[in-house]
Amino acid sequence: MANSPVLDSASLEKGAIVQTHSPTSSTHLQAPFDRAAERRLIHKLDLRILPVLWILYLVNFIDRANIGNAKIQGMEKELTLTGQRFNISVWVFNLGYLVAGVPLTIAFRKYGPKSLCVMMFCWGITVIGCGLVKRWEQLVICRLLEGMAEAAYISGAAYLIGAYYTKSEYLTRFVFFSTAGIIAGAVNGFLSTLIAKMDGTAGYKAWRWIFIIEGLCTLCVSVGSWWFMMPFPEHCTFLAPEEKELLLARVKADGGHIADEDITFKQVLHHLSDWKIWAAVAMNMGVTENANSIANFQPTILKGLGYTAIQAQVHTIPVYIVGAVFSVIFAYMSEYLRHRYAFYMLGWAVLCSGLIVEIVYPKSAGVRYMGMFFMASGAYLAMPVSIVWVSINAGKGYKRAIAIGAIINFGTAGAFVSSNVFLKREEPKFHTGFSTGLGLACMGAFAATVTFFGCMWENKRRDEKRALLPEILEDDTNEGMSDEHPDFRFVL
């Protein structure tokens, strides 16, 4: 007879599988583990895994957002980006995300983390291509290819982080990783300001040098990162044998099944039929639309309010820094209180406050600048919460990879929307853009509420079923069922 597991509120909030052993586990370690050994292990993981992923995401975000800075440095005039042409060059990037995201995330899970370095090298080439184009149609093609090449990076990194850390450690690490994207917004403005001084060098305008220099940096980083990218936990070599045993035992006790697995198209469709994934897509879409609005249109808005091109780029920096600090602080609070829904809603409330300011005070530069701080802080908290919340509720293995890929890449439909509702004729008020952002944010809040009560109901149903059928714990056929295991409890 197996040890009788104990159901308590803490374990439910962690979304843990109630049983603390794995019948097929290759390790002899069982929870509870030595806390001192765990702290040493976590510290080593933090130093070996997060820095590489953080740097790559910094480069990733700079590459995707540099088009906004290039626009105000002369690209719009030279490529004749009249009407909706600039918006098309923005949304076609998100189309690439939408098309390639899930397939490339599955490829990442199959071929391993080093595949991210290959993808990065490919998108670096497309960024350089953006700086060499002669017509706006060529820019559109380069942006589409860039979006396809970048599509699996965030979802792959999110999966890799979740593979090494437990549910109660995942969010803070992912938010730290996400700060690279936030800081990149600040760095991008500063970097673009410096590169703009190369205007006319070798016969190229400043906007071309923005793409070329940043694309070359991407190629260098992608090559260098190959030797530092960590494999999946079961293949890691940087840990001592006893540390690796502890790592694998922790992941198994947390509800993971690490063993290599195959995937079929039928299984992909089965995983995608989970309603929680599509609720998370709506959650993520609601905040991604607004986050992309900040990244792509903030320089244009500031310039339209009377700032010079250089001043507009410099003024974006504090917005991103405040957003990064806000997201990190409240991510720690979310893990400390073991709650996800409440902190998604906090981010939503702050985001909506900023959107309302932008709509109500369209002519006040100072007030609208303040609104951007609220938008960035709210969006950059709610976005990682939506990803982590549902990914840990998907268990591990291909199900988690597919869930993360769907959330991030189908969620970019929000970015697709943002690039089409910020109409040039409304510049710099952009009433349609901000009103649409507010509507999508409310849609995300509704989806989060549905997820919260749906998971609460499912936890209660499983508790009742388990009380009637305690022998189900002895059934080895449930091993590896991930979130479908009858003893799995969802994070709230």
138-164: per-residue pLDDT in tens?
Answer: 999 999 999 999 999 999 999 999 889
Domain ranges of the chain: 37-257+265-484
CATH architecture of the domain 37-257+265-484 equals Up-down Bundle (1.20)
Adjacent-strand bridge partners of 488? 17
Distance of CA 71 to the CA centre of its chain: 25
- pLDDT at residue 15, rounded to an integer: 42
Kindly list the distances between the CA atom of residue 20 and the CA atoms of 170, 258, 491, in Å, as whole numbers in the listed order: 19, 15, 17
Contact status, residue 171 vs residue 330, Cβ threshold 8 Å: no
Contact status, residue 214 vs residue 66, Cβ threshold 8 Å: yes
Among candidate residues 107, 48, 105, the one with its CA nearest the CA of residue 237: 48
Condensed to tens digits (0 to 9), the pLDDT of residues 441-488 reads 999 999 999 999 999 999 999 888 877 766 555 544 444 456 777 778
- pLDDT at residue 260, rounded to an integer: 61
Question: In a 3-state reduction of DSSP, which class is residue 488?
Answer: strand
Instruction: Give the end-to-end CA distance of the chain in Å, rounded to a whole number.
Output: 31
Intervals of the chain under pLDDT 50: 1-27, 257, 475-480
The span from the CA of 251 to the CA of 459, in Å, is 21
